[in-house]
Amino acid sequence: MINEKLRAKQQWTVVIFGFFALSLAFSARAALGLVMPVWQQEFGWSSSYISSVGAAALIVMAIVAPFAGRLVDRKGPRFTLNLGMGLLGVGCLLVATMNGKIMFIIGFSGFSAVGFGIVATHVVATAVARTFENKAGLATGIATSGATGGQFLIVPLIASLLAFVSWRWSFGALGITSLLLIPCILSSLKPQKSPSDNQVAQTSGHTNMAHDLKYILKKPTFHALFWSFLICGFTTTGVIETHLLPFAAYCGFPPIPSAAAYGILSGVNLFGMIAAGWLTDRVNRPLLLAAIYGLRSLTFIFLASLPGSSIETLFLFAILFGAVDYSTVPVTASLVASHVGLKVMGLAMGLISAGHAIGGALGAFLGGYFFDTTGDYGLLWMGCLWLAIGAGVIVLLIPKTGPEMVNAPEQTVS
């Protein structure tokens, strides 16, 4: 009985600290947009330069993602999260004390970007899946909702420090808080094997990364999830997070109501992830994921009709899109665990997350290109509508049930 209570406490500790770690990482990413106007005035930097540093950080994240997944497969969440928080904390402190471009690049596109790649949804989702046997979907939804919860809860605090003190205090607070989370994780996440870990250990010995990669690439489910998640990144991180507010300004809406609508989107996003996680434990998962993509496609109809509409339409879109924004994460993670295997879940999720980042970069670039070419966003919204439908069709090809969750490469290496 005591062991069961300790194990339950350990399980939910992973959820709690995964939530907080993602909140800090995603808030640090969002802080770049908040301080951009201040740096333009203080340092004379152009928006294109600051944006290019942010884009470089995204590229670093995409490169790091598979290795971070591999790390959590081999070292576990305790070591991996602490490494990521340490790098993130050092990077934010470097930015807080910078006086020139070189230190900014090293701090944000170097240390912080590697930290972003490690403290990511795929790492936290893998940690949860390897810890929970029951209610893994709900736990994953709660833990990974920190990705949007940070934007909803922490970013306003960063903005307050920026307004009332200085931007250096904003990044300094992020850096110090990240470092303070390390001893909390060390003391709370004890090296303790869960039943899932024991099952994983029984399947095979350690394999090298090349062999695991070959094993993953042979799985049809991996390809379905990779390409659907790439489309997910295109339609969310790339298009909405980059172009929604500029589109609202294009439609003639004032900045404050537009920002409020985006805040509502982030808030609904948090609850959408938790609800999707709860449903993951109870319904047909490929059908659930297809429904999420299908509902997302319909939201772009609202955007296409936004010019000439009232601000209420923008708020309605924010509510609807927020419900199906990051809600793909817990369902995708659950399908990777059951159809690809727990032993290689970190690496598989890392590759899928890299695809998400690539899709995001494409969405951000093509959104600007289409607007410059056509003079409006209509073509972009219609493209996103059909891409989301395509993603829904792709995931419907995934079987309802897969091999054992611990299905893993049989070949062992010394």
Task: Give the per-residue pLDDT at 136.
Answer: 80
In percent, the amount of the chain with pLDDT more than 90 equals 37
Please name which of 113, 122, 325, 145 lies closest in space to residue 239, comparing C-alpha atoms.
325
Task: Indicate whether 403 pLDDT > 70.
Answer: no
Task: Give the per-residue pLDDT at 5.
Answer: 60
Mean pLDDT across the stretch 208-225? 91
Mean pLDDT across the stretch 207-226? 90
Sequence-separated (6 or more) residues with CB below 8 Å from residue 44: none
Q: Hey, how many other C-beta atoms are within 10 angstroms of the C-beta on 64?
A: 24
In percent, the amount of the chain with pLDDT more than 70 equals 89
Angstrom distance (rounded) from CA 272 to CA 328 = 9
Task: Indicate whether 4 pLDDT > 80.
Answer: no
* 100-111 pLDDT, tens digit each: 889 999 999 899
Task: Give the per-residue pLDDT at 118.
Answer: 92
Helix, strand, coil % over all residues of the chain, rounded to 5: 80, 0, 20
* Local confidence band at 340 (pLDDT 50, 70, 90 cut-offs): very high
Angstrom distance (rounded) from CA 57 to CA 42 = 22
Task: Give the per-residue pLDDT at 191.
Answer: 60
- Cβ(53)–Cβ(334) under 8 Å? no
Sequence-separated (6 or more) residues with CB below 8 Å from residue 33: none
Mean pLDDT across the stretch 28-34? 78
Q: Hey, how many other C-beta atoms are within 10 angstroms of the C-beta on 106?
A: 16
| CATH numbers and ranges of domains, the chain | 1-203 (1.20.1250.20), 207-405 (1.20.1250.20)
The average confidence (pLDDT) of the chain is: 84
Q: Is residue 54 helix, strand or coil?
A: helix
Task: Give the per-residue pLDDT at 263.
Answer: 81
* 225-264 pLDDT, tens digit each: 999 999 999 999 888 887 887 888 888 888 778 878 888 8
Task: Give the per-residue pLDDT at 208.
Answer: 78
Task: Indicate whether 201 pLDDT > 50.
Answer: no
Please name which of 148, 129, 141, 116 lies closest in space to residue 25, comparing C-alpha atoms.
116
Task: Give the per-residue pLDDT at 110.
Answer: 93
The pTM score is 0.81
